[in-house]
A and B are shown apart, each in its own frame.
Chain A
Amino acid sequence: MISFEMPESIHKTRVLMETVAENMMRPMARYFDENEHEIPWDYINFMHQAMAQMGGSAITTQEDEKKERKGPRLGFQNLTFLVEMLSWGDTGIYLCTPGGGLGAAAVQAAGTAEHKKRFLARHQGEKPTFDAMALTESHAGSGMPAEVRTTAVRDGDEWILNGEKIFVTAGNKALVDSDGFVVIWATIDPSAGRAGVRPVVVEAGTPGCTVTKMEHKLGIRASDTVSILLQDCRVPFENLMGDPEVKEKKTEGAKGVHLTFDATRPIVAASAMGVARAALETIKQMLEEQGIEIRYGLPRSRLTNIEREIIDMETKLQATWLLTIKSMWMADERKENTIEASMCKFLAGDVVVDITQRAVELMGPLGYTRDYLLEKWFRDAKINDLYEGTGQINRLIVARRILDYSRHELS
């Protein structure tokens, strides 16, 4: 039965996260924007404790498939609301949340039960830990995973990794600031294209794995984005997830990538929605303080321009948000959600950029000044249309699905 009733448990998550977002993240948001590469430890430690109290890692959706469940699965939906609210607080700081980032998502999607236990257990430890996922290389981002050049060569019961990854979110926190890990996408057979690509876990402290650069960015400055150099970096044989051999070169070897993204793209959409909501709520409040009330229900011919813009933004935000929820509901229901995941991702990328830039425009000098967060949200917004597949790449994914085309027919 079609229903939009928010489950009680999600409601609780939201209330809790709203407190954190409002009282903790918002007040420190400007500071960490202006002091790039400083780490918001207060937030990190708080979240680590809070999540331990909430029973495990709230930021991932670890669920034992065999364990009996009371009621429907809500893990992905819960995460969606959590991320939306934390990003409403601050996206950059949200990206510093310990205990389960993109690396964990990759382990969830591609790893065995043993992998999950070995690599994810650390997040429940005493100290906060981080993980990251490194797919992008300097010569190719959108071209991934087909164009992975980082190699994994087997040597007895070890893999030797060589190559360089760029733009790794939280890479420094995973490898340098904590006992975390990075999932490196490497090829075990460069002649096999995407069929040869595998996720390999590299733990902090592994010799031959070094962080070589920290980027300076337009926005989300609280989040570190790093380059990782792999020089004869040896990891145990079991750290490679998936088949250690390439059986058929034509098959989709890098299935884990796709599965990971079906789960993480809606998360990016949710994050975008949080920023968009922050900007929209803020300008509505600023207008209200000027005595301007939005008169919903009027025909456009009777609306002021400001009213029309706000109503338009609100409509787009809500439609995209509902599609985001739907795609994660599908994930919880174990329905294939590739189309919806990519759709909500590119819509959210468009909507958040549109809303935040309009918010700056509408507020004029108050929008452009660093006295308020509006200009910062505008800078933070853009990343949502870039990482986890650009808007174009997500359109391509949907296009191939709805047109029933292979990547050779449409690229």
Chain B
Amino acid sequence: MYSFEPTEEQRMLMEAIERYAKNDLREAAHDADETGELPGDLIEKGWEMGVLQASIPEEYGGFGERSAVTGVLAAETMGWGDLAGALAAMLPATYAMPILLGGTEKQKTELIPPVIEAEWKPFTTAFIEPVYDFYPGEMGTTAEKKGDGYELNGEKAYVIFADKAPSILVYAALNGQTQAFIVPAGAEGFVIGEREKLMGIGGLPCYRVRLNNLQLPLEARLGGEEGFDFVPVLASAQVAIAALAVGVSRAALDYALPYAKEREVWGVPIAQRQSIAFMLVEMAAEIEANRLLVWEAAWMLDQGKDVSKEAYLAFTGTTDMAMMVTDRAVQVLGGHGFIREHPVELWMRNGRGFSTFTGMAMV
């Protein structure tokens, strides 16, 4: 049967996350973007919502079962609050989820509980690379089997909290296949560079990282000798970004719409002009439709179906939508939209980033 209704449990969780998104994430968003720093207790509070913990089975320290559907519902809501804060709070999932999906039993039992059973720690991921045509299926970073270990070389970008991470999941091409490796903090050859200066997500510390002849033992490879299947992991990453894009878009619409009813020009609220009203309607319709692409892909992930195409379409659709919606939100506010006192310009800056952000979140 088709159904578009979250479960009671999901609804309750979303209500809690909504409150957090509204009272905490949204409140902190502006200053974090300006100062470059997210309050630590904000991230911890988001972590305590327990979205990741509920996705990890008991034997690995969690208290539930992985549900990509719950994950995208949560990601949308957090993204609605603030993208930088959401990415920070969700960060450990980029580390733990691929291990859950592709790790050996030993890796799962050893590596996941320290993430899950503690307060938030920036377990992170090195995924994106600083090239214009970055494609996750063909990583420029290489892993080579050398003796009884691997050697990694290359450059990574947008590595969130690289400076504070206890452990990093690094993606690299091994014989042309994208694989992942667990790299402990401080490993020799893991060189943390400058903090990235980005157009948006200003509160989120992201770093360049160089891998210079980084030597790793055989066990460092995710999934052991056989490696792991990158396809569902990439799909999870794409739907996570897609869900966040829906959230940011909804934030922009939710702000622009009441503004348009308030703001009068020649004595008439601008929302009573079709050119404004229709923009808002199209924003709303694109959000409604594209959200369903995300839900469908997430549902397919949970069903264990091959979702590579659907996840890609969801990613494509929502990233285009986020740009369209956030741009229009600024347009609806006119010159005021250009001023940083209003959040719409931040959403527009963040909105442009989604097409680049794959790998920075997972559900």
Instruction: Give the interface of A toward B (CB within 8 A).
Output: 1-7, 71-72, 74, 77, 296-302, 311-312, 314-316, 318-320, 322-323, 325-326, 329-330, 340, 343-344, 346-347, 392, 395-396, 398-399, 402-403, 405, 409-410
Say if the beta carbon of B313 comes within 8 Å of chain A: yes
Residue contact B293 to A315, C-beta cutoff 8 Å: yes
How distant is the Cα of A323 from the Cα of B289 in the complex, in angstroms? 5
CB-CB under 8 A from B292, the residues of chain A are 319, 322-323, 326
A128 to B54, CA, bound (A): 57
B300 to chain A: which residues have CB within 8 Å?
Answer: 4
B357 at the interface (CB under 8 A from A): no
User: Are A323 and B299 also in contact (CB < 8 A) when A302-B133, A398-B281 are?
Assistant: no
Given A316-B317, A395-B281, A403-B271, A297 and B3 touching (CB < 8 A)?
A: no
Whether the Cβ atoms of B4 and A2 lie closer than 8 Å is: yes
Within 8 A of A (CB), among B137-187: 137
21 A-B pairs within 8 Å (CB atoms) are namely A2-B5, A3-B2, A3-B3, A4-B296, A77-B2, A296-B312, A297-B135, A297-B312, A298-B135, A311-B316, A312-B320, A318-B317, A319-B293, A322-B289, A325-B2, A326-B292, A343-B281, A395-B278, A398-B284, A402-B280, A403-B257
Chain B residues engaging chain A, CB cutoff 8 angstroms? 1-7, 69, 132-135, 137, 234, 257, 260-261, 271-272, 274, 277-278, 280-282, 284-286, 288-290, 292-293, 295-296, 299-300, 308-310, 312-313, 316-317, 320, 355
- Asked if A1 and B288 sit within 8 Å, CB to CB, the answer is no
> Contacting A4 at CB < 8 Å: which of B288, B295, B309, B312?
B295
B317 touches A1 (CB 8 A): no
Query: Interface of chain A, helix or strand or loop or mixed?
Result: helix
| Min distance, Cβ A403 to any Cβ of chain B, angstroms | 5
* Nearest A residue to B295, CB-CB: A2
Q: Kindly provide the distance from the CB of B151 to the nearest chain A CB, expressed in whole angstroms.
A: 27
B280 to chain A: which residues have CB within 8 Å? 399, 402-403
Given contacts A312-B316, A346-B285, A395-B278, contact A329 B2 (CB under 8 A): yes
Complex Cα gap A5–B300 (Å): 9
Q: Known interface pairs A340-B288, A343-B288. Does A7 touch B2 (Cβ–Cβ under 8 Å)?
A: yes
Query: Do the beta carbons of B1 and A3 come within 8 Å of each other?
Result: yes
Give the docked Cα–Cα distance between A347 and B300 (Å): 24
Q: Which residues of B contact A403 (CB under 8 A)?
A: 257, 260-261, 271, 277, 280
Q: B321 to nearest A CB, angstroms? A: 9
Given contacts A297-B312, A323-B288, A399-B277, contact A2 B6 (CB under 8 A): yes
A302/B2 contact (C-beta < 8 A), A343-B285, A398-B285 known: no
Q: Are B313 and A311 neighbours in the complex by a CB distance under 8 Å?
A: yes
Which residues does chain B contribute within 8 Å of A71, judged by CB atoms? 1
In the bound complex, CA of A72 to CA of B4 (Å): 13
The verdict on A315 contacting B272 (CB below 8 Å), with A343-B284, A399-B278 known, is no
CA–CA, A402 and B3, complex, Å: 23
Question: Quick one: closest B residue to A320, CB to CB?
Answer: B289
How far apart sit A402 and B300, CA to CA, in the bound complex (Å)?
31
| Distance in angstroms between the alpha carbons of A2 and B308 in the assembled complex | 20
- Beyond contacts A326-B292, A329-B2, A329-B3: 17 other A-B pairs, Cβ-Cβ < 8 A, are A1-B6, A1-B7, A2-B295, A297-B309, A299-B135, A300-B355, A314-B313, A319-B286, A319-B289, A322-B289, A322-B296, A323-B288, A395-B281, A399-B278, A402-B281, A402-B284, A410-B274
Which listed residue, B3, B277, B293, touches A2 by the CB 8 Å rule?
A: B3
Q: Would you call B2 and A315 a contact (CB within 8 A)?
A: no
Question: Which among A314, A319, A410 has the highest number of chain B CB atoms within 10 Å?
Answer: A319
Alpha-carbon separation in the docked complex, A6 to B2 (Å): 6
CA distance A410 to B277 in the complex (A): 9
Question: For residue B1, which residues in chain A have a CB less than 8 angstroms away from its CB?
Answer: 3, 5, 7, 71-72, 74
What is the CB-to-nearest-CB distance from A239 to chain B, in angstroms, rounded to a whole number?
37
A405 CB, min distance to chain B CBs, angstroms: 7
Q: Which of chain B's residues have a CB closer than 8 A to the CB of A329?
A: 2-4
* Distance of A27 Cα from B309 Cα, bound (Å): 32
Q: How far is the CA of A344 from the CA of B257 in the complex (A)?
A: 20
Alpha-carbon distance between A6 and B3 when the two chains are bound, in angstroms: 10
Given contacts A315-B317, A318-B313, A403-B261, contact A297 B308 (CB under 8 A): yes
Residues on A with C-beta less than 8 A from B271 are 403, 405, 410
Residues of chain A within 8 A of B286, CB atoms compared: 319, 347
A1 near B5 with CB under 8 A, answer yes
Q: How far is the CA of A90 from the CA of B170 in the complex (A)?
A: 52
- Which of A316, A340, A405 counts the most chain B CB atoms within 10 A? A316
Q: Considering the chains assembled together, what is the distance between the CA atoms of A402 and B5 in angstroms? A: 21
Contact of A396 among B7, B132, B135, B274 (CB under 8 A): B274
Q: For B299, give its contact among A3, A311, A320, A396 (CB under 8 Å).
A: A3
Most chain B beta-carbon contacts within 10 A, residue among A2, A329, A405, A410: A2
- A405 to B276 CA separation, bound complex (whole angstroms): 14
Instruction: Give Cα A318–Cα B311 distance, bound, in whole angstroms.
Output: 12
Q: Which residues of B contact A319 (CB under 8 A)?
A: 286, 289-290, 292-293, 317
Contacting residues, chain A, for B320 (C-beta < 8 A): 312, 315
B275 → A minimal CB distance (Å): 11
Tell me the nearest residue of chain B to A294, going by C-beta.
B309
CA gap between A2 and B272 in the complex, in Å: 36
Nearest CB of chain B from residue A207's CB, rounded to whole Å: 45
Residue on A with the closest CB to B234?
A: A297
Whole-angstrom distance between the Cβ of A341 and the nearest chain B Cβ: 11
From A3, A302, A312, A409, B272 is in contact (CB under 8 Å) with: A409
B138 to chain A, nearest CB (A): 9
For B257, B312, B316, the residue with the greatest tally of chain A CB atoms inside 10 Å of its CB is B316
CB-CB nearest in chain A for B311:
A297
A361 to B274, CA, bound (A): 31
Report B-chain residues with C-beta under 8 Å of the C-beta of A402.
257, 280-281, 284
Complex-state Cα separation, A347 to B291, whole angstroms: 14
